[in-house]
Chain A
Amino acid sequence: MEMFYGAMQYREPGVLLWRGFTLQEFANQCFGNKFDNGKGRQMPIHYGSTKHNYFTVASTVGTQIPHAVGAAYALKMEERDACTVTYFGDGGTSTGDFHAALNFAAVMEVPVIFICRNNGWAISTPSADQFRSDGIVVRGQAYGVHSIRVDGNDALAMYNAVNEARTMAIGEQKPILIEALTYRAGHHSTSDDSTKYRPGDEIEWWRMAQDPVTRFRKWIEMKGWWSAEAESEFRSSVRKQVLNAIQVAEKVEKPPIKELFTDVYDFPPPNLCEQEASLREAIRRHPQDYPPDFLM
């Protein structure tokens, strides 16, 4: 059975979607409602699912890289037919954790695939200000990790590279680094306006000429497996599903109060039990001071 453990950054919802996380589950996490399997503890897009072997996303940049190496070490110790995979951006490779992780992975000889999405931008920092090395692939080499640079906008090339990497990682118990060259056509996030720090025509060019989805679509259309009608139908259907998921998630209540206090430790400590009791008592006595839809 195919197995992997993923330590992700935050641009990998595609991976989670592929592994079976539903659109509704994504929406529930973003709204932090009572169906969120993250119990409303995290900011949007910090997904996680033990069921899908996807470690909950953390905000701290680059920390997932050594985590993936540690989990890979565990897989190696247990002689599992599996590897771990971790994603990070060009900016993430400047963190101390990146260097430590690659070094350790090489020394400990563990089955981990490092995938660097080099999209040229870390918020407003272009890669020329991030590093002066020849991209990320030479860094992997420097640490003694087998590394490859791939056109990140070519879906087939990426598929083949990762497939091969997985075989090598598990079969030879060694780390692999894949540098996927691409471009961040969108803004860093919804609070960013990237036209403030880069030329609009640069963004347009990449969006028009190099969009990986467009490239893949042209290929499958050429093969006769897809058509413009299918495309239009599919887009419309998925858009409806996403909007529906959002609408549903928005209406669901927030998590109950007890989830404020659970999971700090494996077993709730007395001081938190006491605080929860005290909070419930306060709500009971002064209901007018608390929102009416507070779930007990």
Chain B
Amino acid sequence: MWGIIRQRVACRSIPASILEQSLQRIPIRPVGYALRNYSSTAKEMTVRDALNSALDEEMSADPKVFLMGEEVGEYQGAYKISKGLLEKYGPDRVIDTPITEAGFTGIGVGAAYYGLKPVVEFMTFNFSMQAIDHIINSAAKSNYMSAGQISVPIVFRGPNGAAAGVGAQHSQCYAAWFGSCPGLKVLTPYSSEDARGLLKAAIRDPDPVVFLENELLYGESFPVSAEALDSSFSLPIGKAKIEREGKDVTITAFSKMVGYALQAAEILANEGISAEVINLRSIRPLDRLTINASVRKTNRLVTVEEGFPQHGVGAEICASILEESFEYLDAPVERIAGADVPMPYAANLERMAVPQVEDIVRAAKRTCYRSGSMAATA
């Protein structure tokens, strides 16, 4: 570290938060990092297959689960996520809908009010804006506004964020918008294990869940453990995963940016900076405990997201650190986010509008006071 003595702030008059108390119980882990930890891995699986198998297993286990969306049936899914499901479960449980997001979302919510477990697919979450009133006002708030009489066990899923060359109306990230709403749970899987475990957990959850996938990750392959292949597998909602342990700087990311953060960590390792990469997995509830514990260990933080910077996920993480772990910071927090412009189409411009690995590397170095210039340059 830099030899700065950390002072505990004088006790506040209000009792310490639960988060504070939990953090005090976590011992600082020994220095050293491990490569990604797998139990016994022989099998690789694409994210697409992971999602498909999760849907299949949950539909098989519970007849109340059904899938609804544009092109999910006959077309096998706009991105083939629901391949084979129509054939296996029939048109009652795999419903091809007309082009009315507001309509089929409202209908899904109505079915959930009754007690079914709909999985509503948006071809991309950009189209969820047509239906956002139902997601927020009819789904998220209903349990509260009905005083617990109406629970809404619904999952809204689909690709989120930037793809490649699809322009501004197909590229927005909705993690921050949905993440701000109480009553919703918001999940962002990265790997195939994330996709399987979190989708299964989402479908089983009695609360409404927004499940933000990523189109570019669908085709990526990841090793999956035997445990993850079991049909009873699920991951806890609200727990982040430390993808790579480190001691010098904490990098938080979700979805596709986790991959970028891991690449950045490799580059940083070669330059003597040990980065700890946290895969958030869950935007709401946000795993503040894991993030704060990590920053208390490393004393530096870089947040990474694809979405717009203002009111983004990084802003919330920053606030959480300031509230809970201010005295542990040795450098200002760095936020990496997408450019504050509607996503351009031209490949060179698009590349500049989303974070790249180099941006993460430079930001991490700035927090370590290792870079020459303070400005982020392209």
Contacts and interface: CB of A to CB of B under 8 A. Distances in A.
Interface string B223-238: 0000000000000001
A70 B114 contact: yes
A133 interface: no
**On chain A, which size bracket covers the interface?**
35 or more
B111 interface: yes
B18 A103 contact: no
A75 B113 CA distance: 12
A121 interface: no
A34 B230 CA distance: 47
A182 interface: no
A255 to B, nearest CB: 9
Contact of A271 (B14, B116, B142, B285): B285
Contacts of A99: 100, 103
Contacts of B151: 266
A58 B95 CA distance: 27
Contacts of B112: 70
Contacts of A293: none
B344 interface: no
B206 A274 contact: no
Interface in B83-117: 92, 95, 97-98, 100, 102-116
A245 to B, nearest CB: 20
Contacts of B105: 66
**On chain B, which size bracket covers the interface?**
35 or more
A65 interface: yes
Chain A interface mostly helix, strand, loop or mixed? Answer: helix
Contact of B109 (A70, A274, A281): A70
Contacts of B143: 263-266
B97 A56 contact: no
A274 B146 contact: no
Contact of A274 (B18, B207, B238): B18
Contacts of B150: 48, 50, 55-56
A130 interface: no
Contact of A281 (B14, B19, B98, B145): B14
Q: B14, B98, B147 — which one has the most chain A CB atoms within 10 A of its CB? A: B147
Nearest to A270: B18
A222 interface: no
B103 A100 contact: yes
B366 interface: no
Contact of B106 (A77, A101, A269): A101
Interface of B: 14-15, 17-19, 66, 92, 95, 97-98, 100, 102-116, 118, 133-134, 137-138, 142-151, 182-183, 185, 205-207, 238, 285
Given A77-B66, A107-B98, A266-B206, 4 more contacts: A48-B149, A55-B146, A100-B102, A266-B143
Closest 6 interchain pairs by CB? A100-B103, A70-B110, A66-B106, A67-B110, A70-B107, A39-B147
